[in-house]
């Protein structure tokens, strides 16, 4: 179910403490107890869906390499011009250094504005609409 649909269906704010693995980018760490999900926390808002989020980042170089090679999005990224070599520095850094557990986080300001303004159309709240 899409994040915006899920949040709208509840008619209130919704916080997800884990996300399905299939929705995550390669550097998000899988849950140790349930590898079908990743360790993250996302705030879903009615109308706008995922507005803020944070997630544990994978720090094991071998796991990162495996995730990149087996990721279903890789073929699409390659069609768009991405080369696996673009990620080598990131993979090498994690394989050659003792990287500790760390997190990433972000706020989608346009999504938050969409919720505050009650707009149903995302492009209407973006600074540079299409």
pLDDT at 9: 47
pLDDT value, residue 7: 44
Cα angle 46, 103, 33; round to 5: 85
Give the Cα separation of 105 and 42 in Å (integer): 9
Query: Which residues of the chain have a pLDDT value below 50?
Result: 1-2, 4-10
Q: In this predicted structure, what is the pLDDT of residue 69? A: 80
User: Tens digits of per-residue pLDDT, 99-113?
Assistant: 898 888 899 888 888
Whole-number Å distance between alpha carbons of 34 and 81: 33
Give the strand order in the sheet containing 49-57.
14-20, 37-45, 49-57, 102-107
């Amino acid at each position: 179910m899409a994040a915006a649909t899920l949040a709208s269906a509840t008619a209130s704010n919704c916080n997800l403490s884990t996300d399905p693995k299939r929705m995550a980018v390669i550097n998000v760490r899988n849950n140790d107890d349930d590898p079908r999900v990743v360790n993250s926390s996302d705030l879903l808002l009615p109308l706008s869906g995922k507005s803020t989020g944070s997630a544990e980042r994978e720090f094991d170089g071998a796991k990162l390499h495996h995730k990149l090679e087996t990721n279903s999005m890789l073929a699409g990224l390659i069609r768009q011009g991405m080369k696996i070599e673009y990620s080598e520095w990131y993979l090498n850094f994690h394989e050659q250094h003792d990287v500790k557990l760390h997190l990433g986080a972000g706020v989608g300001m346009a999504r938050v504005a969409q919720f505050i303004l009650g707009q149903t159309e995302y492009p209407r709240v973006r600074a540079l609409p299409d």
